[in-house]
Amino acid sequence: MHLISGVRDPAASFPLDTAVNDADERRQANRAVAVSAVGLTVTGLIELAIALLSGSVALLGDALHNLSDVSTSALVFVGFRASRKVPTERYPYGYERAEDLAGVGVALVIWGSAAVAGFESVSKLLRHGGTGHVGWGIAAAIVGIAGNQLVARYKLVVGRRIRSATMVADAKHSWLDALSSAGAMLGLVGVALGWGWADAAAGIVVTGFICHVGWEVTADIAHRLLDGVDPEIITTAEAVAITVPGVTHAHARARWTGRTLRVEVEGFLDPHTPLAVADQIGRSVAAALAPRIPEMHSFSWTARAA
């Protein structure tokens, strides 16, 4: 049998040497979520206690933001748990996108934190509220900076290692908290120098940082949900495919589902190519692509008559 125009084109998926130990990646993700949640809870509670004592709105906003990270960690954990479910007839790709949907929750919490911090800061600026126990406030802000930097770095390393956009987004959220802690500290230093308005002004700056990272995280998650990929992946897939003997032309598509990059290649072959040979050409394309796109963990091949 040959590839003839009008006959259904053969399609297949092939196992890849780039397959990873998903169970190990999930353990790493769950460990990162648990460790970061504990660290942020301790940091946030310290800042919250000092914020209530001192009346610092910048520190209060930072504390609320840190504690909100605990809720985002819970969302990430739920996303990883849900994505473990096996594919079904109703959900043939499985539940991997649950991780991306968890990222939507992370973005919503960030924007909620921005709203609270902004409201409290503007309110204090308008009513000319005072700030006390400045030394303790500065110390709490320093704790916030250190705690969030450690947590952010840890989650970023794990997120990149396991290719989780949601965990990377959560790491950016923690990195933002370190910046907001620094802003809170600067505001309190200003109060110590006699500028009573500095705390409220710092709170507004902290809100700006929150909005900036909120926008970045929202854009990253939307990019995934809309099946956006690095254009270089498509270019590489097509360029590599046409170097395989027998392929005269190729079209490629790709998308992420959770942490899985799925690449689909349509290879145009001579119409007289036997189906068995077309299948073998597809396997050769998969083998050639694996080292060029190491993050690819699902490959589909469709042979078409040129």
pTM: 0.67
The proportion of the chain whose per-residue pLDDT surpasses 90, expressed as a percent, equals 13
Contact predicate 41/122, CB 8 Å: no
Give the burial class of 102: count Cβ atoms within 10 A of its Cβ; 0-12 exposed, 13-18 middle, 19 or more buried: buried
- Both tokens of 78, joined, read 């739920």
Rounded Cα gap, residues 224 and 39, in angstroms: 28
C-alpha 215, offset from chain centre: 13
Contact predicate 282/303, CB 8 Å: yes
Model pLDDT for residues 144-178, shown as the tens digit of each residue? 888 888 888 888 888 888 777 667 777 776 777 77
Residue found by looking up tokens 């819970």 in the block: 74
Taking the CB of residue 111, how many other CB atoms lie within 10 A of it? 14
Is the pLDDT at 10 greater than 60, yes or no? no
**Structural domains in the chain?**
22-225 (1.20.1510.10), 229-305 (3.30.70.1350)
Model pLDDT for residues 66-107, shown as the tens digit of each residue? 777 777 667 767 777 777 777 788 888 778 788 778 888 878
Contact predicate 230/293, CB 8 Å: no
User: What does the mean pLDDT of the chain come to?
Assistant: 80
| CA neighbor of 260 nearest in space, from 95, 148, 102 | 95
Rounded Cα gap, residues 104 and 87, in angstroms: 22
